[in-house]
Amino acid sequence: MFIKEIKKKNPGYDKVFISHRLVESYRTEKGPRQRTILNLGRLDLPKEQWKLLADRIEAEITGQKSLYPVDPHIAELAAHYAQLIIQKNLTRPTSEQPEKAPQPEYETIDLNSLVHSRSRTLGAEYVGLKTFQKLGLDALLKALGFTQQQIDLAILSVVGRLVHPASEHKTRVWTQHLTALDELLGTDFRHLSNNALYRISDLLLAHKDRIEAHLSQRERELFGLEEKIILYDLTNTYFEGTAKANPKAKYGRSKEKRHDCPLLTLGLVIDEMGFAKKSRIFSGNVSEPGTLRQMIQELRGEPPKPGQQDGHPGQAITVVLDAGIASEDNLALLQELGYDYLVVARHQPVPFSEINQDALLTIKQTKTNKIEAQLIKRNGEAILYYKSFLKAQKEQSMKHQFQKRFEEDLNQIAAALSRKGGTKTYDKVLKRIGRLQQKYAPIARYYEIEVKRQGALATAIEYKYVKPEKAEQRFSGAYFLRTSRTDLDEKDIWSLYMMLTQVEEAFRSLKSELELRPIYHRKEQRCDAHLFIAVLAYHLLNTIQTQLRRDDIHMQWRHIRERLSSHVRITTSMTTKDGRRIHIRKSTEPEPFHRMIYDALGLSYYPLKTKRVEC
């Protein structure tokens, strides 16, 4: 083997392009010939060291040990190029061996020559890819005009977010050095760039409506979804940086308490099984109630489901909302469109004096918790008062903490009035107290505060806890639910409300398992695409977990993918007695946990076939 320099010059340009190739000479009937073993790109190495590198690459491939010290840089390059050559030979289809019932092959080998290399994770990627295909996304993208290369990149973006959620840069590193997803796809990601991942996310976002409509229909067919319950809520994520190039990036109320960062809001409609029906991206300071009309309009744009009349898109569907969205205007809108609703009451619809605490119905009881309820029907609504023992304990603890900290901070402000250098100006003291009341708003409303003054100076602060009964009611673990479903009893209403945890679980998965936050992009389109890729990965995640639950497997996805990562693809190299070097590319034997997951998903234990080459 030797290294050959290639010079090329395009017509009309003076610039000379230089690249290098690893070639070997061989004899034919017509004389000696040369063939290219590997394109090395442009080699940053002095010419006098080319022969050393070529010899070292050959030694790496054949498993020969060097008797003399090797320059570390040359050794590193040789190891890299040798692996590329071995992998190139291993990907030839003619060298494949069937995984099941292979014919016995016996060799006498030097055990000391055994080397294992190029270990790549396989398990979670295999599950993600098969789920992507099960949902028919590859066929849809092809129908939308995506090339095979674009489909492979789309799979990489979505499955990558599912298996190894990260930025595009980190996804590229994972793709090229850690995962066997390229082998599963039968493609080569060695020359993958960050820009290629950016472009494919833009392309997926451009087809967002078609993709979401397809997924909704496909999931309905796969799991027989009735879609009688629709759950809607919002969450937000924050930016790293100012995001000035994104008009949607606004400061608002952060779910993660990141009020120092601009935000972006994601609205998600899901059904009772946790499958996302529609997603929409809003500005960070959006008014929650104002988003419902837009989401309903988009849902109504879908074709009617079987048995549903065109003129009544909300027929027999109940929409479940949290208090933040449940304004009176939104409830009127839902009724106008033919939807039923179940919401957390924003205000107290029934005086506490009408609740008979001694006559509450127990609708659920465990060793640690007890839930009681009373149903009241009036004005065409069913109103459910429910009270949770555990929630009451938690809220009482919160109340005591709020009271303690609020009074301690008030005492500090009061102490400053007599301390040298302390704030004494009446107006400034009022501002400090105002900020304190805003910080401890849940408890501050139950206090009366009086600031005494003498001219422009405050002289004393007096406060009194004046509404203990109302505070006890506020922190009693009790809430009111409102619904237009007057046909439901206490247990049915409470069970329906508990489905809101499906939305909370979806947002938890998006944030903690699919890295929805933070956002590092600046442009609006890239930010929207980042969120949409996470939503697509969530479709895969919920499909996987729904199938696993049918086999009574209840595990968070992050734990599943961690344990699946031990199913890997690896190359084993060995030297035979007659001096041949054999390289075998094979998957490790699936462990009991891997088999359990594959069985539940209806997958083969052997995602890839064994390959063998000799050098």
Task: Annotate 86-129 with DSSP letters as a single string.
Answer: HHHHHT-GGGEE-SSSPPP----EEEEEEEEEEEEE-HHHHHHH
> Which residues, in sequence order, are bridge partners of residue 365?
370
Nearest to 88 by CA among 112, 57, 64, 55: 57
Tell me if residue 540 falls in helix, strand or coil. Answer: helix
Report which of residues 200 and 299 the model is more confident about: 200
The CA distance from 116 to 572, in Å, is: 5
Nearest to 233 by CA among 434, 563, 505, 1: 505
Q: Does 303 score more than 70 pLDDT?
A: no
Task: Provide the pLDDT for residue 309.
Answer: 40
Burial class, 14, CB count within 10 angstroms (exposed 0-12 / middle 13-18 / buried 19+): exposed
Confidence of residue 304 (pLDDT cuts 50, 70, 90): very low
Angle between helices 557-564 and 592-601 (to 10 degrees): 120
Task: Provide the pLDDT for residue 301.
Answer: 64
Long-range contacts of 243-247 (CB under 8 A, 24+ apart): 243/519, 243/521, 243/522, 243/527, 244/522, 245/522, 245/523, 245/524, 246/521, 246/522, 246/523, 246/524, 246/527, 247/283, 247/524
The CA distance from 146 to 66, in Å, is: 49
Q: Does 91 score more than 60 pLDDT?
A: no
The CA distance from 482 to 503, in Å, is: 19
For the segment 525-558, what is each residue's pLDDT rounded down to a tens digit? Answer: 999 999 999 999 999 999 999 999 999 999 999 9
Report which of residues 232 and 174 the model is more confident about: 174
Report which of residues 477 and 567 the model is more confident about: 567
Residues 6+ apart with CB under 8 A from 201: 157, 168, 526, 529, 530, 532, 533
Is residue 117 a contact partner of residue 83, using CB atoms and an 8 Å limit? yes
Q: Which pTM was predicted?
A: 0.77
Task: Provide the pLDDT for residue 557.
Answer: 93
The CA distance from 157 to 164, in Å, is: 10
Is residue 584 a contact partner of residue 571, using CB atoms and an 8 Å limit? yes
Task: Provide the pLDDT for residue 234.
Answer: 87
Is residue 459 a contact partner of residue 453, using CB atoms and an 8 Å limit? yes
Is residue 42 a contact partner of residue 20, using CB atoms and an 8 Å limit? yes
604's tokens? 């083969």
Nearest to 333 by CA among 382, 535, 343: 343
Instruction: Report the range out of 140-154, 429-443, 453-467 with the highest average pLDDT.
Output: 140-154
Confidence of residue 148 (pLDDT cuts 50, 70, 90): very high
Q: What percent of the chain has pLDDT over 90?
A: 42
Q: Does 96 score more than 50 pLDDT?
A: no
Exposure class string for 176-206: b at 16+ Cβ within 10 A, else e: eeebbbbbbbebebeebeeebbbebbebbbe
Is residue 505 a contact partner of residue 417, using CB atoms and an 8 Å limit? no
Q: Does 302 score more than 80 pLDDT?
A: no
Please give the mean pLDDT across all residues of the chain: 87
185-213: average pLDDT:
93
Task: Provide the pLDDT for residue 100.
Answer: 54
203-211: average pLDDT:
95
Q: Which fold has domain 208-380+484-522?
A: Transposase Inhibitor Protein From Tn5; Chain A, domain 1 (3.90.350)
Confidence of residue 307 (pLDDT cuts 50, 70, 90): very low
154-172: average pLDDT:
93
334-351: average pLDDT:
88
Q: What is the DSSP letter of 179?
A: B
Task: Provide the pLDDT for residue 226.
Answer: 81
Start-to-end C-alpha separation, the chain: 13
Range in 169-183, 258-272, 424-438 the model is least confident about: 258-272
Tell me if residue 602 falls in helix, strand or coil. Answer: coil
Task: Provide the pLDDT for residue 450.
Answer: 93
Exposure class string for 303-339: b at 16+ Cβ within 10 A, else e: eebeeeeeeebbeebbbbbbbbbbbeebbebbeebeb
Task: Provide the pLDDT for residue 152.
Answer: 96
Task: Provide the pLDDT for residue 67.
Answer: 67
Range in 353-357, 482-486, 571-575 the model is least confident about: 353-357
Task: Provide the pLDDT for residue 105.
Answer: 81
The CA distance from 334 to 327, in Å, is: 11
Locate tokens 């429910």: which residue?
Answer: 386
Locate tokens 């082998």: which residue?
Answer: 183
Instruction: Report the range out of 228-232, 469-473, 600-604, 608-612 with the highest average pLDDT.
Output: 600-604
Confidence of residue 312 (pLDDT cuts 50, 70, 90): very low
Exposure class string for 548-585: b at 16+ Cβ within 10 A, else e: beeeebeeebeebbebbbebbbbbebbbeeeeebbbeb
Q: How far lies 207's CA from each of 139, 203, 210, 304, in Å?
A: 14, 7, 6, 21
* Single-letter amino acid, residue 200: I
For the chain, how big is the Rg over CA atoms in Å? 33
Domain map (residue ranges) of the chain: 2-90, 114-121+563-614, 126-207, 208-380+484-522, 393-474
Confidence of residue 102 (pLDDT cuts 50, 70, 90): low
